[in-house]
Structure 1
Amino acid sequence: MRSLVHSLLVTALMIWSAVADLRYVATLEQDGRAVDASHIEFVKTPPLRHGRHGRHASSRRDANAKDNISYSDNWCGVSHRSTPSDPVSNIFGYFTVPDLKLRPGIPAPQFAAAWIGVDGAKCNSTMLQAGVTTVVNANGGQSASAWWEWFPEASYSIKGLTVKPGDWMSINITIKDERTARVVVTNAQRGYAITLALTEGPKLCRLDTEWILEDFYEKNAQVAFATFSDLWFLDVAATTVAGKTIGVDGAAMVHMKNETGSVLCWPEQWDSSNFVVLSGSG
């Protein structure tokens, strides 16, 4: 599947950000061919509080699974860390667009966001990420959309790209330096990829690597978090400047707990580059 990502080139659509100094150029390809990108729209929203935080930001070592279990009130998935002397240069992975069901006893609409990104954990002043958000309404109907964000700048929803629950997406982020990066968002199932060339972004630490399902914050409150079908992350890997590969082995396995201590979701490792996020009923 990864070869699909590298085969995609583009026709250009240029948009200059009005927020601070961040600038980006977006280009689009369908089935390996450059296509008109004039129908693509980037809808700016206030930056979301995506960072891992809260009452359950703690960790322990699981003696049986040999996992570094970490708890959060808004993240579940896998988080790893490099060092300042060998910063992250690339992160990649496939995942399924969240396929949701209503969680009993919680008002609709309900949400879940899956994404891949750099920084935002130990380095929580900045983060570059891209992913998808699915919403399920009171009647069980779902809709999904792709987005990207270089926190603390604005978040951008990508309008005009078809995204459906269960689709296979990939995110490929290459960091040239602490303020310059390229983000490729690919829907492997539908054959399109959008490439974002980003410059003058907020200064990255380039330390944290994450493959995450999130109950994000909006307007200073967490959105209602839905239940979901098993959500796989495949071929996950990050590369450092020195060429070291970072994956699932040795990473923090982040479990999400609510205020009553119920686990809402957690990852289970399959091997060194694949894992699944499971839904709890709490």
Structure 2
Amino acid sequence: MLFSVLFFHVFMATLTLAAPATSGEQAGTAPIAATVTVPAASTVAQDVDTNNWAGLALTVGSNAAVRSVTGAFTIPTPAVPPGGNSHEVYESAAWIGIDGYNCDSALLRTGVTFIYANGDVNANAWYEWYPSVDRTYYDIKVSIGNLITASVTAYTPQSGTVTLINNSTGAQTSVALGNADYAALCMNSVEYIVGDTTQPNGAGPSLPIPDFGTLAFSDAFVSLTPSASPLTDLLNIVQDGAALTSVSTEYDTITIKYIGDSE
């Protein structure tokens, strides 16, 4: 699943941005009342290797449904990875979402892309209801080093809300989404991810991932209808036999480190 990203002005000629959400995109019904909220990293996890995602994916059982996911992170400073070229472009994104890991039909997510390009770094904020195109938030700006809080809520399989708060500047935005043309969510998984913007092990071209140091999702909580035992996968990026990331968790915190091929 590829989506367009906001590069520096030298790339603007190739970028097509979707229009902002219209008044016709309104959230449908209120969330179901009988929900429970759990820390995302509180369950026993297993390790999974992917081509392009690092972080945590939590999957609920068939009798449960994900209602919302939230978390906070600081936008890292992207750098040239070991063995990289300082004159190339490197790009990654930190985001949270519903259904990217365990649903083939749809994904609702929001986050921040951070880019290294020829010695410059930049960041932009966006949301996406896959397979519709991603959309840049026009009413909020983000920068490297900003502390971001993001949340995604699914009211029904085809209505929800994405919210982004820039705690460093006080700016915030929220977009209500509801459209019968949206692909239906499965509402059975949540994700806290750093990586490129495709599905796990997804095919298709993408820019190489920069060295992003350490990024931690804190205050990571998931609301769902009662479920006995959510399943948790810790995802690490492995490319050409080398692990690029290392993930650890503690209660409501998911810590993702870029390690290159050091381990």
Which interval holds the TM-score relative to the shorter structure?
0.7 to 0.9
Q: Does 1:69 align with 2:50?
A: no
Which amino acid in the other structure matches residue 268 of structure 1? S
Which amino acid in the other structure matches residue 57 of structure 2? S
The TM-score, its normalising length taken from structure 2, stands at 0.77
Q: Which residue is 2:192 aligned to?
A: 211
Q: Which residue is 2:158 aligned to?
A: 179
Q: 1:87 to 1:166 in 2, by over 3 A?
A: same
User: Hey, which of these two has a bigger chunk of strand by percent?
Assistant: 1
Alignment of structure 1 residues 101-140 onto 2, 5 Å: 101-107=79-85, 108-139=88-119
Give 3-state SS (helix, strand or coil) of 1:124's partner: coil
- Mapped partners of 1:229, 1:16: distance in 2: 37
Give 3-state SS (helix, strand or coil) of 1:202's partner: coil
**1:141-199 deviation per Cα after TM superposition (whole angstroms, max 9, x unaligned):** 20000000000111112235221112111111121111110111111111111010000
* Count of residues paired in the alignment: 220
- Unaligned segments of structure 1, at least 5 residues: 1-12, 18-22, 27-65
Q: Does 1:264 align with 2:248?
A: no
- Mapped partners of 2:138, 2:118: distance in 1: 23
Q: Which residue is 1:6 aligned to?
A: none
Q: Which residue is 2:33 aligned to?
A: none
CA contact (8 A) 1:147 1:157 kept: yes
- Mapped partners of 1:219, 1:160: distance in 2: 32
Q: Give the fraction of aligned pairs with identical amino acids, expressed as a percent.
A: 23
> What stretches of structure 1 move > 4 A for 4+ residues in a row?
243-246
Q: Which residue is 2:25 aligned to?
A: 24
Residue 227 of structure 1, aligned match among 208, 211, 219: 211
Q: 1:242 to 1:281 in 2, by over 3 A?
A: closer
> What is the Cα deviation at residue 241 of structure 1?
2.5
Which amino acid in the other structure matches residue 263 of structure 1? A
CA contact (8 A) 1:98 1:133 kept: no
Alignment of structure 1 residues 148-159 onto 2, 5 Å: 148-159=127-138
Q: Which residue is 1:238 aligned to?
A: 222
CA contact (8 A) 2:219 2:252 kept: yes
Please report the RMSD computed on the Cα atoms of aligned residues, expressed in angstroms: 2.5
- Mapped partners of 2:76, 2:229: distance in 1: 27
- Unaligned segments of structure 2, at least 5 residues: 1-18, 28-43
> What is the Cα deviation at residue 244 of structure 1?
8.1
> What is the Cα deviation at residue 251 of structure 1?
1.9
CA contact (8 A) 1:98 1:113 kept: no
- Mapped partners of 2:21, 2:139: distance in 1: 15
